[in-house]
Amino acid sequence: MVALEKVSLFIIGQKLIQPNQKVVLGFSGGPDSVFLAHVLIHLQQNIPFSLNLAHLDHGWRATSSNDAQFCLQFAKKNNFHASLGLAHDFASAFKFNGSKEEFARNIRKAFFKKVMLDTQSDLLALAHHADDQLETFFIRIMRGTTISGLKSMLPKEGHIIRPLLNVSKKEILHFLDEHNIPYCIDETNKSELFLRNRIRNKAIPACQEADERFTQNSLRTINHLAEVETYLAKNTQEIFNNISLLFDNQLTIDIQKLMSIDLFMQRRLVIYWLCTEKVPFNPSEKLIHEILRFLQNKKAMAHTVHNWTIHKKNLFAWINHLN
């Protein structure tokens, strides 16, 4: 019971679940979510909270309906409710942009949101573990990302909790095997078509071979970088408050103040501004430089991107949405 105890103590210590909350568990039927289900059932002996499984049938594989069956049986046996969904029913809301993984992620998010609403739940528990954290970090490095992109998953973000971030896949499988607990196997996890699988199956084992402390130490590096990003996010917000003001109920930027700041922070401030104004944008370096160039240009008075416009007057700038 060591692994169950370890995670239970983590949940209690980090106050991830409060008594009498309603928790939805994202349940694929794979080893990670089966393990987390066992942890949560174990924890219910100490903290009273309700548990509801949410399983999405992606319909990618011929065997995926078996997984749905497994989920229903698991819920029935353990005496709680399971919400089932078909990816097909949620897909129409999203545009396929070439990444099957991102498409699937959007669909899952929409499904979980619906289950949370339907069941009036407080928390969504996801079974991301230490290996997932490490894989994501390496995928981000390989994509040439900024520090914001390297930000790792946290045990609690809004209504999402991730109680397994300190547990390795190895510990999970060891526990399940030791207790003869059945789980589904997702064959797509082995497909070399997905970057994540190539990183999991080739790149990370090669790094582990190069240095046996690789996993443990890289997770320390990730935590250090997460601290940096947390500091920078707070720092950005404080500086933004200093260079912006509400004028006629319109969030307005003092361009001279913005331009007196380091270029590195200027770029973060522009992104923060666009996010605060709920502007739909793809935060490319090109777009950010375009905006900074416009703000410095003494002649240009308006700059339109898609359906929003930045206006300028007397060294102040603001954003309007075009409807």
DSSP for 266-279, written as a single string? HHHHHHHHHHHTT-
Interface residue with its own copies, options 61, 88, 179, 202 (CB under 8 A): 202
Least separation in angstroms between CB 137 and its own copies? 9
Is the Cβ–Cβ distance between 200 and 170 less than 8 Å? no
Least separation in angstroms between CB 285 and its own copies? 10
Q: Cα–chain-centroid distance for residue 178? A: 31
Residues contacting residue 231 through CB under 8 Å, at least 6 positions apart: none
CB nearer to its own copies: give 61 or 234: 234
Interface residue with its own copies, options 205, 247, 306, 321 (CB under 8 A): 205
198 binds its own copies (CB under 8 A): yes
Amino acid identity of residue 56, one-letter, is L
* Burial state string for 210-225 with b = 16 or more CB within 10 A and e = fewer than 16: eeeebbeebbeebeee
CB nearer to its own copies: give 213 or 286: 213
Which tokens go with 268? 């973060």
Per-residue contact string for residues 250-289; x = within reach of its own copies by CB under 8 A: ------------x-xx------------------------
Which tokens go with 168? 């390795």
CB nearer to its own copies: give 78 or 237: 237
In whole angstroms, what is the distance from residue 196 CA to residue 132 CA?
9
182 binds its own copies (CB under 8 A): no
Per-residue contact string for residues 40-79; x = within reach of its own copies by CB under 8 A: ----------------------------------------
Query: What are the DSSP E strand ranges found in 95-192?
Result: 123-125, 156-157, 160-161
143 binds its own copies (CB under 8 A): yes
In whole angstroms, what is the distance from residue 10 CA to residue 163 CA?
7
Q: Which stretch binds its own copies (CB under 8 A): 43-51, 72-80, 165-173, 229-237?
A: 229-237
CB nearer to its own copies: give 74 or 137: 137
Give the relative orientation of helices 31-43 and 2-13 as an angle to the nearest 10 degrees: 70
189 binds its own copies (CB under 8 A): no
In whole angstroms, what is the distance from residue 190 CA to residue 81 CA?
31
Other CB atoms within 10 A of residue 278 CB = 9
243 binds its own copies (CB under 8 A): no
Ranges within 292-321 binding its own copies (CB under 8 A): none
98 binds its own copies (CB under 8 A): no
3-state DSSP assignment of residue 282 = coil
235 binds its own copies (CB under 8 A): yes
Interface residue with its own copies, options 66, 221, 250, 307 (CB under 8 A): 221
Interface residue with its own copies, options 220, 289, 306, 313 (CB under 8 A): 220
Which tokens go with 82? 């399971």
Query: What are the DSSP E strand ranges found in 98-189?
Result: 123-125, 156-157, 160-161
Name the residues that contact its own copies, by CB under 8 A.
138, 140-147, 150, 195, 198-199, 202-203, 205-207, 209-211, 213-214, 216-221, 224-225, 227-228, 230-232, 234-235, 262, 264-265
